[in-house]
Amino acid sequence: MAELTRMRRKLQNCEQEHLLTFWDELGAAAQDALLEQLETVNFEQLRDYIEQFSSEAPLGFEHTDVAPPPVLPHKPVTAEQAEFYQQAKDRGNQLLAEGAVAACVVAGGQGTRLGFDGPKGCFQATPVAKKPLFQVFAEQIQAASNRSGKAIPWYIMTSRTNDTQTKAFLRRNHYFGLEPDNVRCFRQGAMPAIGLDGKLLLKSKGSLAMSPDGHGGILPALRKSGSLDDMAARGAALISYFQVDNPMVRCIDPLFIGLHDLHGSEMSAKALPKRDPMEKLGNFCVVDGKTSVIEYSDMPDELAMCTNDQGFLKFSAGSIAIHILNRSFVERLTKDGGCSLPFHRAEKKVPHIDATGKKITPDQFNAIKLEMFVFDALSLADKTLILETQRDEEFSPIKNAEGLDSPMTCLHHQVRRAANWLEEAGVDLPLDADGQVAAAIEISPLFADSAEELAAKLEPGLTIASGQQLYLGSRGQIGGTK
């Protein structure tokens, strides 16, 4: 069999011939499937990565020319800026009304820290209605479409592992009210897991252990899946990018869209002022003249703690994975079908079989996964923009099962944001002895998705009792318990 001989030679050249150890034990169909899977792997490129990554810890950060980037404040500070922000908001709304914006969520991650059995987008995340994450975003998209009068296409990046389940979930839930034609799932690529000895791991006798290629995999996946062409056919020139684990994200933000466009930016990002120098957020920096994100793990402590003349943290802008990208920028980066983003190394526990075919379930990290990060595209953009946002308004990711960034903390933050909006609208809130809001409150984006919209819509006379569950949905207020 010529294909097998060619593949065997290729594997020998890359010192990966163990991948065919169990070849003779496989049936014809399993042999075909294994060959097909091996054909998808770029072994020459992998050999370089293995050399670079598997023998030692990451090299870390090496540049000397590092400066903080310019960051626009979340609210204008001068009259001139106020005028510019108003123009930007108008421009954003105009682009939405023209149908120039697509929403795009990356939902292909494995969510190992949360440990939820299923795609993370199906996780019930809201305090009263217990809506799954996908519904939270669908309602925001619907609300923004209602306002602009134009449908917003929604692209959802899945992985091999969760694609079928994600599609079935969306279908079962009637796309949460969106037109099925406007919701499009596309699969990201995968990379083989590398054992600590530099050998690729087998998941079974006839298949490699693969994992999704990181959120940066969105760029080649948008191209390969035909999603860029689909966007072009619909007239969508801008991609509003967000992650599946943050239900507080404003996934369609006219101000952010307008600022991006008026600034002539190719890729923009939202930033949060870091709580402290060591907070685990990527750091926005200008490295060798290019806007970049330095991962918290790569940022030398002395740089992270550096202060400016006024005594404030010099590198205070943290990355929260909310972006606008020009479709033409993604087209440029992926024009050869590949993608110009580098791979990063992540240490993981990967179940596999050993040389005798025995199943191994490791209890400590045994493999390296290669992942691309979407924020690496910033340094490839001709022009960028960073807009500060507020933590209370827009960021509470669900990462861990317990503790920090968990479902509990996120529920708390969602209730607090809803309470802040209600307070701004003049509603009194019941508080407990610790000064925390003593009610569960949820405001559907279909009722209002900003404090201003809520204040404009709310009927006077709303009272909230201690211990009450209050849901404000598309059909108005549902008091008591939902």
Kindly list the residues in this chain that would bind ligand UTP in the complex (CB under 6 A): 106-113, 120, 157, 188, 212-215, 217, 243-245, 371, 399
- Cα–Cα dist 449/136, whole Å: 11
How many residues belong to the chain?
A: 482
Least separation in angstroms between residue 160's CB and ligand UTP is 11
Closest CB to ligand UTP among 349 and 457? 349
Complex with ligand UTP: residue 148 or 414, whichever CB lies closer: 414
Contact by Cβ (8 Å): 103, 325? no
How many Cβ atoms from other residues are within 10 Å of residue 358's Cβ? 8
Kindly tell me which of 245 and 449 has the beta carbon lying closer to ligand UTP: 245
Q: CB-wise, 320 or 458, nearer to ligand UTP?
A: 320
Task: Select from 180, 101, 181, 191 the least CA-distant residue to 144.
Answer: 101
Q: How far is the CB of 446 from ligand UTP (least distance, A)?
A: 23
State how far the Cα of 468 lies from the Cα of 479, in Å rounded to an integer.
Answer: 8
Alpha-helix residue ranges (DSSP H) falling in 324-388:
327-333
Burial class (CB in 10 A: 0-12, 13-18, 19+), 391: middle
Q: Which two tokens stand for residue 301?
A: 């402590």
Identify which of residues 198 and 214 has a Cβ nearer to ligand UTP in the complex.
214
CB hemisphere CA count around 136 (13 angstroms): 28
Name the minimum Å distance from CB 62 to ligand UTP: 24
Minimum Å gap between C-beta 214 and ligand UTP is 4
Rounded to whole angstroms, the Cα distance separating 27 from 451 reads 62
Q: How far is the CB of 322 from ligand UTP (least distance, A)?
A: 11
* Least distance from ligand UTP to the Cβ atom of residue 294, Å: 16
**Residue 119 to residues 154, 162, 320, 321: CA-CA distances in angstroms?**
17, 6, 21, 19
- Choose between 320 and 440: whose C-beta lies nearer to ligand UTP: 320
**In the complex, what is the shortest distance from the CB of residue 275 to ligand UTP, in angstroms, rounded to a whole number?**
19
- Closest CB to ligand UTP among residues 23, 296: 296
How many CB atoms are closer than 10 A to CB 30? 16
> Where do we find the tokens 């001989």?
5
Residue 337 vs residues 219, 235, 257, 375: alpha-carbon distances, Å: 10, 22, 27, 19
The whole-angstrom separation of Cα 398 and Cα 245 is 5
- The distance of closest approach from Cβ of residue 169 to ligand UTP in the complex, given in angstroms and rounded to an integer, is 14
**Helix, strand, coil fractions of the chain, as percent rounded to 5:** 35, 20, 45
Shortest distance (Å) from residue 283 CB to ligand UTP:
16
Residue 340 CB, nearest approach to ligand UTP (Å): 18
Decide whether 157 or 341 has the Cβ nearer to ligand UTP.
157
Whose CB is nearest to ligand UTP? 109
- Asked whether 427 and 458 are in contact (CB, 8 A), the reply is yes
| C-beta closer to ligand UTP: residue 210 or 381 | 210
Using CA atoms, how far residue 256 sits from 75, 86, 325, in Å, is: 12, 11, 11
Q: How far is the CB of 106 from ligand UTP (least distance, A)?
A: 4
Q: Which of 179, 210, 174 is nearest to 194 (CA)?
A: 210
Of 218 and 287, nearer to ligand UTP (C-beta) is 218
Contact of 128 with 156, CB cutoff 8 Å = no
What spatial distance separates the first Cα and last Cα of the chain, rounded to whole Å? 64
- Beta sheet of 344-348, edge-to-edge order: 194-195, 367-371, 344-348
Residue 221 or 437: which CB sits closer to ligand UTP? 221
When the beta carbons of 261 and 394 are compared against ligand UTP, the nearer one is 394
Residue 68 beta carbon to ligand UTP: minimum distance, rounded to whole angstroms: 24
SS3 242: strand
